[in-house]
Structure 1
């Protein structure tokens, strides 16, 4: 299965390419608009992986799994419930998660599937939504949990989830990924905390893209985090969290001390 990564080689050179059997086939141009191979091939081991795309925004869903809705005693929504994480929150695999200097409270992980948009998407019909999906990636939707309800008058979803390094995506984008039989597995310092089937989603990816595109325009490279299920928990300073989806890879990060 083809996967795409962005990388840094040397001190400054940033590029992207198709990853196959540990070798990166370097491409040039626009990842989402007929990229062309350069003929250069790099070893995966000699580069630093970056977030695989540079979204203008991350659209993050809430309450999109039946099991979690039942546990929380919440009705499943009739339309995707979502918030926006800014482009400045984006973080790649291997990068340190950084605690906001002004915040000393609980930081929470949420392992999720991410949809990567491949072309401009506005008011897209459900039957056409698949044509606007470039591929899929892993997401860790990090949250400063104690900020959510710090002010009883206004739930601060964007503030709690929008800090630098809180929009973790990667390690690769996989076009044509069959999510229906896949599971999300999240570990904390090697101990499994989440292991849930993506088939339990309330809204499937094509439905999500169509419905969200009615509310706002999605651009190439934008990521939609499909929401999480049971097993969300907190990350202590110095702890490492890894989100794995077989067929995509493992997204691993450590919360800096």
Structure 2
């Protein structure tokens, strides 16, 4: 009888521990905020560490990105001359949008508003979206700032051609900080994150198109070459996907899970370099 009672007591005790572990205690606003801030920094670190864990497929994708950028590098000057032929005809609102939307100040106003809305309304999916937006933009922004100083590529407005470099400066050198395009990275990062909320491939494609505008406006304004913009946008996708995978382990709310995945491929041939989206 004593053995039976002891067994029942121990079993009841273990059930109580299991229930305590499985039932999540609601967090207050401050706890959620600090949790999200930790995930922002954690996501940034995770995205930077991914190349050390890449395997053949991932390195193959990065190789295609590198090859595509190299292909565009050889047509940078020609593309710049072609754009200059019609850049003066672009509407002012388009130029203003492309310049302002991709700036860090406006980017963080948008991403911060999304996050705070999710935080105060206790909407975990919106909170997670805000965390993904802020951490992706921060990871992309830091990466491009370091890259600019290391590479030191001449901007079109410097008067030099696309193959002129003044590398390895701790401080950015005016008009020699072209590669990659920060505006393109920030704007396309936002567009790519927001597109994850939708299942429709046409909505996704529309958001990608809108997110591409700042990069091409920077080309028209002689701030960047086409290869600066293309590489920046491609790296944005890598960063967002890495951080999103990290956040999958931190939040219960997931994004739309489509059986048809969107894939990106580079089409490289004689005299042409293109990006193909399959969905």
TM category (shorter chain) comes to under 0.3
* TM-score where L is the length of structure 1: 0.26
Q: Greater helix percent: which structure? A: 2
Q: Greater strand percent: which structure? A: 1
* TM-score where L is the length of structure 2: 0.25
